[in-house]
Structure 1
Amino acid sequence: MKELEIRSKEALSSLLSTVPLIEIRNLKTALQTQAWNPDFIVEIEVSGKSRFLICTIKANGQPRFVTAAVLQLRDYVIGKEINATPIVIAPYLSPVTRQACREKGVGYLDLLGNAWLSFDGVFIDRQVADKPSSEHRELKSLFKPKSAQILRTMLREPNRAWRVSELSYVAGVSLGLVSNIRTALLDREWGQTTSDGFVLRDPPALLDAWVQVYEPPLGERKKFYTTLHGSALEKAARSAVSENSNGRALFASFSAAQWLAPYARVSSHHFYADSEGLEKLIKALELIPASKGENVVITIPKDEGLLLDTVEAAPGVICTSPAQTYLDLSVAGERAQEAAEHLRQEKLTWS
């Protein structure tokens, strides 16, 4: 903590020195008592007026930890008869955390360079695009296939409270992984605990973070051509995906979106399938392999969880879930962006 405190003081001093109106008078560590105290206080002069910057340092800048610090800072400042501005400092503060600080009127600074301060005619608002590599790794890990099975399960019933053992069973993953994901969601304030169990607190924020790091699923992508079209193609496809005795096949991407929230038709048709489901589709749609000019694309994903996360959009119409369809559209090219946003507005809005 000592090194972090030194770096925090240096970063704040450097930031303040960029404003000609500000003169730093004193920087001292706050006296520690049994009651809560800030980590250090900076006395400054702004155009002849004295002001105190009340600073607390958090080693972890996730919302769960910063929220408590914000409340403590506000209570501390309210109890002082001085011109004071509360400030949170951390190695990294996510956009969600920074927004929460601004809404509470609490300044912030992270060691990557993000900063927001507003007092006595001084206004600093800095944002940097970079994320620390550790944050990027944590997000990628949160959305790996096995972890994603947990998240997709919860997004299907976003208001449901889950016990760890129950969620483990339904998602088909270990108790340990559910516990880890639970902790990660709590830290980011995307989930919360209730007397009935663990529930999603902020599904939109979770989906926003997921789409930022989402990549097309690994697997074998096969291209075909069919002479079927219109109602004949629709009937054959519905027959293939609704027949459960031999393998799995389902509408995906643009094709799933057409059933879930129709927006813009495209000439190609998209499916997820396992090897047996692939054979069903080849037979039902009379598919011919195509190196170019394909109008049917079938992906055999390595992540078998994708084949289980389904909804029946109409009788016999098995599609990827709205959340998965949205994610797939997000990486399907510029033309798919509007379809993705339309789907989200229609099927992925939560109170």
Structure 2
Amino acid sequence: MLKPVHPMKSTSADEVADAWARLLRHLLEASPIVKNVAIDAAPNRDGKGCDGEAEFTIDGESHRLIIECKSSGQPRHLRSAMSQLDLQITRSTGLTRGLVVAPFISPASRAMLAENDLGWLDLAGNARIVFPRFHLEISKADRDPFATKREQRSLFFPKSARLLKLLLQQPRLSWKVADLAAKTEVSIGQVSNVRRALIEREWAEAAAGEGFRLTQPDALLDAWRDDGLWAPRVALRGHTLKHGRALQTAIEEVFADVARQGSHVLLASHSVARRVAPYARTVGEFFYAAPDTVLLFTFRLQLSPFSPTERGENVTIFHPSDEGLWKETMALGPKLQGTGPIQTYLDLLSTGERGREAADHWRAEKIHPLWAKEL
């Protein structure tokens, strides 16, 4: 069994270079049909050619692997390795295959390599080597075990998330860095960092000048769901006896009061989904509210606040994680506003299993049609 190297720690190019030969030998020698394994971990002595070679026999027939090592297994980094391997294989005689080695090779990168008849080996335990009479494939990790939690989630921190939500609302639109910075009130440096991260992962492509646009919005949203989800922070939980039309009127009065005050409030989570794309009945109303508006709910909804340990609330008010929240909104009739489609999706995801089902429904009913209009 191929074991990962240094699980949950970051890796370097040197670690890849030091580890691949041992891992490859272990894999090959574990097969009863593979004989005479010979590995050269330093054939590139003149600065040309590949990063390593391996030879072995099956029933006396020679098989050769040409190895390219990369410090990153993201698709963008592997393209140069693919070109180099194609060149080396073209020059070779006999049964020769290419093998890319990296700390972690993502599922998207694996698919790209497989389409080009190339194998892979990573330090997370994934491997694929295919010859006419030999097929080895191991899938142990679909998420990078070497990336720290902060590295995985930093793309989805509040200021970056403000950019991503705008990009995801109009994925086909090309943005200049300066224009996106001005639109979202985020620094040019922050926008440049997000641009670089998206292009690195091949979720976006560069356009003329410093422009860029999303090319894989679903992949970005999947990563946000899996690695970047933040549960909203609760400002107030409580119970109101109002229901039906009386509750609706009280909510409209809160919105009118907040508008006169020049502040901010939005319906959120299931409260938005219930009004726009109902899926499952979830008790209660959910809001984002600026700190100076929270007391209005107590007055208008005749709200009885709950302590952190009490249960049975039917009103939940969240703190906004970033002022950009007020920029992505959705009209819910003439008197109410809700969070935009991306924020609503993320908030639904944070409300348990039923919430995740509602989020999937919301994504299919509201987000995908929004993207289809962009085509």
User: Structure 1 length as normaliser, TM-score?
Assistant: 0.90
The answer to whether the 8 A contact 2:28-2:37 is kept is no
The answer to whether the 8 A contact 2:16-2:101 is kept is no
The answer to whether the 8 A contact 2:250-2:300 is kept is yes
State the partner residue of 2:21.
9
Q: For 2:120 and 2:353, how far apart are their aligned partners in 1? A: 35
> SS of the counterpart of 1:41?
strand
* CA deviations over 1:169-198 (Å, ceiling 9, x no partner): 112211111111111111111111112721
Q: Using a 3 Å threshold, how does the CA distance of structure 1 residues 220 and 295 change in structure 2: closer, same or farther? A: closer
Q: Does 1:147 align with 2:153?
A: no
Number of residue equivalences: 350
> SS of the counterpart of 2:266?
strand
Q: For 1:336 and 1:22, how far apart are their aligned partners in 2? A: 50
Q: Does 1:204 align with 2:225?
A: no
Deviation at 1:316, TM superposition (A): 3.3
Q: For 1:47 and 1:259, how far apart are their aligned partners in 2? A: 68
> SS of the counterpart of 2:260?
coil
Shifted more, 146-155 versus 21-30: the winner is 21-30
Once the two structures are superposed, the pairs formed by residues 178-197 of structure 1 within 5 Å of their partners are: 178-195=191-208, 197=211
* CA deviations over 1:142-168 (Å, ceiling 9, x no partner): 111111111112112211111111111
Q: Does 1:254 align with 2:292?
A: no
User: Can you give the 5+ residue segments of structure 2 that lack an aligned partner in the other structure?
Assistant: 1-12
Q: Using a 3 Å threshold, how does the CA distance of structure 1 residues 70 and 316 change in structure 2: closer, same or farther? A: farther
Deviation at 1:218, TM superposition (A): 5.2
Deviation at 1:33, TM superposition (A): 7.3
State the partner residue of 1:331.
350
Q: For 2:299 and 2:118, how far apart are their aligned partners in 1? A: 63
Deviation at 1:65, TM superposition (A): 0.3
Q: Using a 3 Å threshold, how does the CA distance of structure 1 residues 220 and 49 change in structure 2: closer, same or farther? A: same
> SS of the counterpart of 1:301?
coil
Aligned Cα root-mean-square deviation (Å): 2.5
- Aligned with residue 291 of structure 2, among 275, 282, 305: 275
The amino acid of 1:172's aligned partner reads E
Q: Does 1:59 align with 2:71?
A: yes
Q: For 2:15 and 2:267, how far apart are their aligned partners in 1? A: 54
The amino acid of 1:189's aligned partner reads E
State the partner residue of 1:300.
319
Q: Using a 3 Å threshold, how does the CA distance of structure 1 residues 295 and 306 change in structure 2: closer, same or farther? A: same
Q: Using a 3 Å threshold, how does the CA distance of structure 1 residues 134 and 300 change in structure 2: closer, same or farther? A: same
The answer to whether the 8 A contact 2:152-2:227 is kept is yes
Q: Using a 3 Å threshold, how does the CA distance of structure 1 residues 135 and 54 change in structure 2: closer, same or farther? A: farther
State the partner residue of 2:6.
none
